[in-house]
A = this chain, B = another copy of it.
Amino acid sequence: MSKSTFSAANSAYDYPLLIKRLLTSSLHFKHNNKISYRGTEHFSYQEFYQRVCKLANSLKSLGVQKGDVVAVLDWDSHRYLECYFAVPMIGAILHTVNPKLSADQVIFTMNHAEDNVVIVNDDFLPLLEGIADKLNTVQTIIQVSDNAAVAETRLTTTQAPYEELLAQAESDCDFPDFDENTVATLFYTTGTTGDPKGVFFTHRQLVLHTMNLVNTINTADANSLFNQGCVYMPVTPMFHVHAWGMPYAATMLGVQQIYPGRYEPNHLTKLIREFKVTFSHCVPTIMQMILECEESTNTDFSGWNVIIGGSALTEGLAMRMIDKNIQPFTGYGMSETCPLLSLTKLTSQMLSLPVDQQVAHRIKAGVPTNFVDMQTWDANGNPQPHDGESKGEIVVRTPWLTQGYYKEPQKSDELWDGGWLHTGDVAVIHPNGYVEIRDRIKDVIKTGGEWISSIELENLISQNPAVLNVAVVGIPDEKWGERPHALIVTSDSKCSVQSVQNHLAQFVDSGEIEKWAVPESISFTDDIPKTSVGKIDKKKIRQNLANEAS
């Protein structure tokens, strides 16, 4: 059967999904919302657009070309947001450097990424000075500072620092069209073994992720949580998975944005109070720090909606948030996934439940968003039923997944084994679609041929009011292979090994856990080791315990 082809007009415009569209979209509607830094500097969207143009023109005049890599070492700031746009909008690649890595890891990532330009806050200048002679590709260093004058340095930097470059540049720029599959961003994820691995995202992926992020957040419950009337502040660092993609979404929507600078709980809390922040996202440990800081005692948090991600939201922390009138949601994703995979989704029925029953939904890992195909696979790659019981590794397909690890073909193939991206997370999916993460594959405690979820144990232990924080890891055991060990932070002198075991006994009685899941081995500490992005560092805890044992 012959069929005429559908041909486009000669001059029809084939619209590529480019990051510049997120920014220009924000200018369609004029409003008074501002983009603010630390509560002291404020920019209208029109001014912000001009600053992005100026930065783009500055970078081009410094010789930055399509495909070049521009690294950023800064706190969460309007300047960082300018880099989010200006760098990819001229076809260059934004490398968001994690300054909390060890110096050796920073050297590794910057050489591996082949950074050409570094934009560095004076606060990170000592770090950069210490490693500069080991950086193989960096040609240009641009200083930014929160002070009137930039710091002295022995490094060769551009004659004009960031603000002066912008002051000298043209405030308009004609951003070119190019292939939407051009890489826009690059950053590194630290696994438990080996060197950091680079993940990368294209313009198309980031635009689609942004569109879906807004859709998902605005259908998470009956209200619109993310629109031009909201006040947004990131509490997940901008070097970490594009601050979960939220700054792109916030800018597209034209909301009021507060960039807090360096994270300091009292300062964050003051900003939340002063600017009546309505929407944020963070890892549990930061939330805990905010709730425990001095400023929080005289702060009314009501109206603050927070997506918790990065690691599991415990029932205890969720209840403490709700006590403070903070509405908790849980998001799930990872560096490799841009990151959004799933988010809390509440029906009016769920919202009408008593708080403790509502919390049971809120602390799960949410429901896969639109365009996220998710399955849970057993060790043989068989998809598991959505029965709330059958565990499997989460594997996904979406339009916004890193297509591999940069220059690591073998690890890339492992990541994408079988044509699905492997998250390394073990979960069950409930009949209503809710995902419940049971553990990282490598953190599952394998004891006597059975699996104990370290997260499940942490969740139960955290419900003890005396427990401020807890981590559970597997420790080697001659008889059983592994046994659980609980590391606990408490401020209550009566909290003991026995009291924690007694606390767990009730869950054995109710059938929630087996008797053999209760740890014999429990220790107390002032501080639980964290990774550079604030997650519990179980690798470190296992190492420490091994050192103590030997």
Contacts and interface: CB of A to CB of B under 8 A. Distances in A.
Interface string A392-425: 0000011101011011010011011111110000
Q: How large is the interface on A (under 10, 10 to 19, 20 to 34, 35 or more residues)?
A: 35 or more
B1 A68 contact: yes
A3 to B, nearest CB: 5
B116 A11 contact: no
Contacts of A417: 11
A309 to B, nearest CB: 18
A215 interface: yes
A4 interface: yes
A545 interface: no
Contacts of A13: 397, 401, 416, 419-421
Interface of A is mostly: loop
Contact of A368 (B28, B183, B228): B28
A4 B371 contact: no
A219 B228 contact: yes
30 contacts: A1-B68, A4-B114, A4-B407, A6-B183, A6-B200, A6-B406, A7-B412, A8-B403, A9-B409, A9-B415, A10-B412, A10-B413, A10-B416, A11-B413, A11-B418, A11-B419, A12-B419, A13-B420, A24-B373, A28-B367, A28-B372, A28-B433, A29-B432, A30-B433, A208-B211, A211-B212, A214-B218, A218-B218, A218-B227, A223-B224
Interface of A: 1, 3-4, 6-15, 17, 21-22, 24-25, 28-31, 65, 67-69, 114, 116, 183, 200, 208, 211-212, 214-215, 218-219, 222-224, 226-229, 252-253, 345, 347-348, 367-374, 397-399, 401, 403-404, 406-407, 409, 412-413, 415-421, 431-433
Nearest 9 CB-CB pairings of A with B: A8-B403, A9-B412, A25-B370, A9-B416, A224-B224, A218-B218, A219-B227, A15-B399, A9-B404
Given A28-B367, A29-B433, A30-B433, 14 more contacts: A1-B68, A1-B116, A6-B403, A11-B417, A12-B403, A12-B404, A13-B419, A13-B421, A28-B370, A211-B370, A215-B215, A218-B227, A222-B227, A228-B347
